[in-house]
């Protein structure tokens, strides 16, 4: 009867033990993180535009294919996916602690027939054990595992966003480098003509050898810059291949394919929303917040080790001299054990302090992540405004000069003669995109800079 009362008392204790050790987690508010009410630039409002596949706005099929391939095969994404799977299994392991464990064992022994006496022995048993979560250690462990799983999911999303941005940035760099190489080669061709003309004029005694050496030095500088640009272009090609999960150089055929110039999305007002929106939108910020939640829950796991631990166990066993009689006699036992750590040399309390320090580190990392996110938005807004200002200034300069323009790097025929006769190669380099002598006949305004220089050339014969 006393045993029944003790068991009932323990079960009642288990039912009322609803509290959990350690602090209850509450996410820091935007005010506590020092987040302002609005950004310094950009249009305020609700940022509801779907930019999940923003790279498709450029309407470049190669860029779209590269990003799709990188999202499927990038190895950073593969690692993040594997970490997510590990976190999911960790949550399953944490949840298993709420259930009892069951095990069974059996044995049999038979002596050598030559021995005396000859006998057989058989035994089997089944054991069950359940650890009662009196002080919430198991609950806190499951809470930490859930938060870690969410953090791993947000980290995977952040890696995918970063990889897509890296592919797009490197692809734009590749296109820009190829354009710069083409322009440099055109300039090299012009400078080779200048060197040849300067050599002819030096042989005729019209100019000194200094002009020839200056032309030669300018051409050598351009030639060396082309080599540097080609090395940079190759490095970008290799980087794109690695981002796509391929060996360097394996995507060269795809990257050298002609596909037109693509499409640059029109400039428009950027709605950045409120700074507090970053706490909900950016996956890196959300991952850091879930990391803080996991670190806070682990404090409770450590504190629960300071308190008593209750375990209920039961056992059923039988033994017999023959296998057929094994289940004739069964022995049952039920045991409740209460364990309280008394002396651990300060280890358990040291673990609690360690977990609290880890939570402080996670809080600092979360605040830093928020601040960096705000910095990214502010820098992006400043960059957008600067780009718009440069575009406005460029358009204003076009209206002032009225140059109808050659393609960049393409020079009118008379410009070669101008550079040789007037010696104004810098003038030609800066005005290489201006109109030629036929601009006026087409109703276009010629470049006033080159027109004045050309007038001096015509006047001087």
In the chain the first and final C-alpha atoms are separated, in Å, by 128
Query: Looking at residue 55, what is its pLDDT?
Result: 87
Peptide bond just before 300 cis, omega within 30 deg: no
Mean pLDDT to the nearest integer, 136-143: 92
- Assign 281 a pLDDT band (cuts: 50, 70, 90): confident
The tens digit of pLDDT for each residue in 324-380 reads 767 777 888 888 888 888 888 899 999 999 999 999 999 999 999 999 988 888 888
The whole-number pLDDT of residue 41 equals 60
pLDDT attached to residue 240: 94
For residue range 13-56, list pLDDT tens digits in order: 544 445 788 899 998 888 888 787 676 765 555 444 567 888 88
Instruction: Name the pLDDT band for 155 (thresholds 50, 70, 90).
Output: very high
- Residue 361, CB-side half-sphere exposure with 13 Å CA sphere: 9
Among 165-174, 279-288, 377-386, the range scoring the smallest mean pLDDT is 377-386
Q: DSSP for 383-403?
A: HHHHHHHHHHHHHHHHHHH--
pTM of the model: 0.74
- Of the two residues 371 and 266, the one the predictor is more confident about is 371
Q: What is the pLDDT of residues 433-452, one digit of tens each?
A: 443 434 443 444 444 444 44
Token pair, residue 386, equals 């600067």
Which one has a higher pLDDT value, 383 or 258?
A: 383
Confidence of residue 263 (pLDDT cuts 50, 70, 90): low
Closest CA to 410 of 186, 81, 125: 186
Q: Which of 124, 113, 126, 123 is nearest to 321 (CA)?
A: 123
Handedness of CA 128, 133, 134, 138 (dihedral sign): positive
Angle between the N-to-C axes of helices 137-203 and 413-422, in degrees from 0 to 180, rounded to the nearest 10: 70
b/e code 271-284 from CB counts within 10 Å (16+ = b): ebbbbbebbeebbb
C-alpha 130 chain-centroid distance: 43
Give 286's pLDDT tier (boundaries 50, 70, 90). very high
120-132 pLDDT, tens digit each? 787 888 899 998 8
13 vs 171, higher pLDDT: 171
* Residue extents of the structural domains in the chain: 413-460
* Better-predicted residue by pLDDT, 188 or 9: 188
Q: Check residues 421 and 270 and name the one with the higher pLDDT.
A: 270
Q: Is 104 helix (H, G, I), strand (E, B) or coil?
A: strand
């Amino acid at each position: 009867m006393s045993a029944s009362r003790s068991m009932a008392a323990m079960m009642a204790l288990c039912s009322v033990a609803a509290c959990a050790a350690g602090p209850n987690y509450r996410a820091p508010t935007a005010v506590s993180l020092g987040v302002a009410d609005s950004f310094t630039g950009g249009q305020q409002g609700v940022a509801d535009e779907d930019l999940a596949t923003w790279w498709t706005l450029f309407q470049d099929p190669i860029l779209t294919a590269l990003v799709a391939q990188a999202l499927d095969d990038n190895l950073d994404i593969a690692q993040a996916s594997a970490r997510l799977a590990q976190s999911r299994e960790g949550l399953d392991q944490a949840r298993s602690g709420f259930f009892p464990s069951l095990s069974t064992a059996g044995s049999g022994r038979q002596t050598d027939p030559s021995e005396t006496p000859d006998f057989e022995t058989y035994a089997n048993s089944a054991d069950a054990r359940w650890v009662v979560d009196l002080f919430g250690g198991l609950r806190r462990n499951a809470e930490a595992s859930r938060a870690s799983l969410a953090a791993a999911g947000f980290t995977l999303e952040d890696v995918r966003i970063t990889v897509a941005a890296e592919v797009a940035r490197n692809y734009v760099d590749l296109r820009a480098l190829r354009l710069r190489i083409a322009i440099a080669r055109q300039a090299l061709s012009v400078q080779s003509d200048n060197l040849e003309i300067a050599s002819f004029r030096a042989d005729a005694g019209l100019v000194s050898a200094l002009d020839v050496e200056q032309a030669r030095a300018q051409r050598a500088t351009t030639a060396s810059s082309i080599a540097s640009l080609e090395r940079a272009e190759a490095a970008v090609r290799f980087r794109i291949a690695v981002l796509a999960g391929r060996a360097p150089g394996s995507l060269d055929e795809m990257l050298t394919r002609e596909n037109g110039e693509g499409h640059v999305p029109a400039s428009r007002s950027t709605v950045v929303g409120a700074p507090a929106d970053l706490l909900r939108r950016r996956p890196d910020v959300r991952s850091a917040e879930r990391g803080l939640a996991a670190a806070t829950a682990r404090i409770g796991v450590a504190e629960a080790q300071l308190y008593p631990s209750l375990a209920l166990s039961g056992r059923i066993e039988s033994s017999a001299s023959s296998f057929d009689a094994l289940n004739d006699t069964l022995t049952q036992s039920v045991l409740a054990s209460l364990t309280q750590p008394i002396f651990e040399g300060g280890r358990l309390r040291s673990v609690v302090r360690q977990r609290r320090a880890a939570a402080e580190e996670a809080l600092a990392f979360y605040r830093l992540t928020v601040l960096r996110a705000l910095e990214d938005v502010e820098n992006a807004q400043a960059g957008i405004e600067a780009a718009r200002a440069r575009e406005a200034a460029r358009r204003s300069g076009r209206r002032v000069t009225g140059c109808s323009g050659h393609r960049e790097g393409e020079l009118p025929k008379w410009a070669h003669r101008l550079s040789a006769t007037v010696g104004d190669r810098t003038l030609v380099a800066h005005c290489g995109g201006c109109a030629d002598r036929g601009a006026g006949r087409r109703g276009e305004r010629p470049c006033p800079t080159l027109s004045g220089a050309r007038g001096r050339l015509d006047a001087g014969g």
